[in-house]
A and B are shown apart, each in its own frame.
Chain A
Amino acid sequence: MQTLKVKIADLAVLRERGILLTVGLGSCVGIALHDAENKVGGLAHILLSCSCQFENRANSFNPAKFADTAIPLLVEEMEKQGGKRSRMRAKIAGGSQLFSYRQSNGVSIGERNIEAVRQTLKKLEIPIRGEDVGGNYGRTMRFFVETGKVVISTVGKGEKEL
């Protein structure tokens, strides 16, 4: 079976079968979208919550880096492959806080990322059907496009199916 690796600040779409894989989610969040009827699956690996503070600073703009721009783009790419937004369901993982200190305002980058992912999915009216978020450990995400199954693996904390 084909395995397609999604790197940090990247996204990919597969049809029918195959595995979308993203490795080493820390404060980053992986978003798996699935249209079960047409068997279209997409996976994004976002780094930060909002493009708003950065659009002018970056020397080139990569929408896959941010929750608010990556998810709409992922939906669009899935629609090109025959997916339909109203049928899409989401599973999300990551957004942890690996290091022991908090940000000065009390909200970690991971928490902010999760919140932005939830908001963006809500805006797009895509329900979340499974999640493994927060905590203080990293995750690897395997998304089986045919069935919509997502398997999360960790270092020393075992595996989990969403």
Chain B
Amino acid sequence: MKKRRLSREKFDVLKELANIGVGNALTSLSKMLNEEKVEMEVPEADLAPLQDIPDLLGGAELPVAGIYIESHGDIGLTILFVLSLDSAYKLISALLPDSQGELDEMGRSVLLEVGNILTGSYLNAFSIMTDSRMLPSPPKIAVDMSGAIISTVIAEARIVDDEVVILKTSLNSQQSNISGHILILPDRGSLKKIFTLLGVR
């Protein structure tokens, strides 16, 4: 049985990648919200046991909206943007002032577009830093229990390790009080590529 261990330096590099990428994404979100200030927490990079991942976002049974994008290309990443239902309603109302903020087809397509823009700006930053080509898939959305959403994403990403490298950050918009989480799951082969590209041994 081979245990995978990452050095502290490697975790720091991953955190920095999350930091710059998510920072870029936040600027996009802030623009969408008429320059409202959006804050983020310092990203965490963790080696999380697979079994704990469904509970990472405040309880597996909590209803949330999850927008999920896979990026292929040189580096394989899975990105999940998760909003509490309350924040999802607020975000839809903020962007579609005439709507009721509902999670109907229109509301969902608004969230998909937000997911698209956020991950697009994240991937851009990532791509520039690592000088690699990223090919994101169209975003997908689900509104359901957070555990069901995260475990489905893990299955879709074919993650089979018992411990999963996960980059997590939380964001919060100040006036409209929209808060959400961004989870980034690099696939196994891509970790190695990231470290090689950045010259980390």
Interface residues on B, range: 35 or more
Question: How far apart are the CA atoms of A7 and B2 in the complex, in Å?
Answer: 23
A-B contact count (CB 8 A): 114
Q: Which of B1, B61, B143 contacts A140 (CB 8 A)?
A: B61
- B155–A25 touching, CB < 8 Å: no
Please count how many residues in chain A sit with their CB below 8 Å of the partner chain's CB atoms.
34
Comparing B9-17, B47-55, B122-130, B190-198, the segment that makes contact with chain A is: B47-55
- Looking at the complex, which one of B63, B138, B161 makes contact with A58 (CB distance below 8 Å)? B161
The secondary-structure label for the interface of chain A is loop
**B61 touching A28, Cβ below 8 Å:** no
Q: Which B-chain residue is minimally distant from A156 (CB atoms)?
A: B63
Task: Indicate whether A138 sits within 8 Å of B145 (C-beta atoms), given known contacts A24-B54, A27-B152.
Answer: yes
Determine which of A7, A98, A109 lies in contact with B148 in the assembled complex, contact meaning CB atoms within 8 Å.
A98
Interface pair B146/A59, CB less than 8 Å apart: no
Give the docked Cα–Cα distance between A28 and B151 (Å). 7
Contacts of B148 in A (CB 8 A): 24-26, 28, 96, 98, 137-139
A59 touching B151 by the CB < 8 A rule?
no
Q: Smallest CB–CB gap between B60 and chain A, Å?
A: 4
B interface residue numbers (CB < 8 A to A)? 1-4, 50-54, 60-61, 63, 68, 137-138, 140-152, 154-156, 158, 160-162, 188
Chain A residues in the interface with B (C-beta under 8 A):
7-10, 23-28, 47-48, 54, 57-60, 62, 65, 96, 98-101, 109-110, 113, 136-140, 155-156
